[in-house]
Amino acid sequence: MLRLITGIAGPSGFGSASTAEQVTHEIDASNFTAIITGGASGIGVETARVLALRKVHVVIGARNIEAANEAKQMILNGNENARIDVLKLDLASLKSVKAFADSFIALNLPLNILINNAGIMFCPYQLSEDGIEMQFATNHLGHFYLTNLLLEKMKDTAKSSGIEGRILNLTSVAHLHTYEKGIQFEHINDQSSYQDKKAYGQSKLANLLHANELSRRLQIEGANITVNSVHPGLIKTNLYKHSDNLIKFLGVATCLLWKNVPQGAATTCYAALHPSLKGISGKYYVDCNEYQPGKLAKDEGLAKTLWDFSQNLINAKS
């Protein structure tokens, strides 16, 4: 907590006050291609901007194409040499996820980095077009499906280039505040027991469990791809649009804990590009330093159950 408030650097040399540009200073990633979901706003667009500044070819996946193109133009205005593409992606739609993956593969680009950044938070109960609770569908299931669809491309890229692939899941400290058993497998769509904040925590716990299980599988396989989870911190973005009153309270009560957007994107950019993380997988990062997640996030049995549940759900819906 002291480090968070003061910005004092941790073992990595960076801390809560570090910005995305600072943690990637002097890194040349000109041979890299990255996909960023939700790269049209908030920390997503800052992540896209800084990766492009480090010469990464960035592909933004976004539901709002107009906003994504505006973000692309903003990045180009500050960096005329930036390589940015925009593709339609609605993570709450399995059909859209499949179409995005097909469109990306058709571009015949390599894929070194996949940043599962997009998400929604504290929304009222609703179902996705596939009939799945919206926060679980958007924050976890869409990214789970997208990652699986792009995994062979990442393996091929890592093998042919010799460059380590990196997958990042953006999670949250909110993974500690979930339902009693972590994931309500038998009641994933139950409206009567729905609690918006616990449903969000459930989806963020799912992000961690997904990353850990995928990391385990890839290590067994010997694939040159790492998978890690990052908590960006408290940043006031449109992610909080469903919780205005809560934000007003938190803004006063926890004002010293909030980050600006460049600081919020730092841990993502650090985990995506920093050479010190080479070969490190299955970890959880906060303020550019490794932290221990909650007990449920380290439950291998729960992670395996979630994997099978997610795959079966996709098979049934798609």
What whole-number distance in Å separates Cα of residue 122 and Cα of residue 20? 27
CB 184 within 8 A of CB 190: yes
Residues 6+ apart with CB under 8 A from 54: 24, 27, 28, 29, 273
- Other CB atoms within a 10 A radius of the CB of residue 158 amount to 21
Catalytic residue numbers?
A: 194
* Half-sphere exposure at residue 249, Cβ-oriented, CA atoms within 13 angstroms: 4
Q: DSSP assignment, residue 25?
A: T
Of 149, 200, 207, the residue nearest 177 (C-alpha): 200
- Can you tell me the distance from the alpha carbon of 29 to that of 48, in angstroms, rounded to the nearest whole number? 13
Contacts with 188 (C-beta within 8 Å, 6 or more apart), sequence order: 132, 133, 136
Percent helix / strand / coil, the chain, rounded to 5: 50, 15, 35
C-alpha span between 279 and 277 (Å, rounded): 6
For residues 201 and 178, what is the distance between their CA atoms, to the nearest angstrom? 5
What is the separation of C-alpha 10 from the centre of its chain, rounded to a whole number of angstroms?
22
Using alpha carbons only, what angle is made at residue 27 by residues 22 and 33, rounded to the nearest 5 degrees?
Answer: 115
C-alpha angle 175-238-20 in degrees, rounded to nearest 5: 75
Structure tokens at 53: 């500044």
The residues pairing with 116 across neighbouring beta strands, listed in sequence order, are 169
Tell me which residue has tokens 């909650």. 294
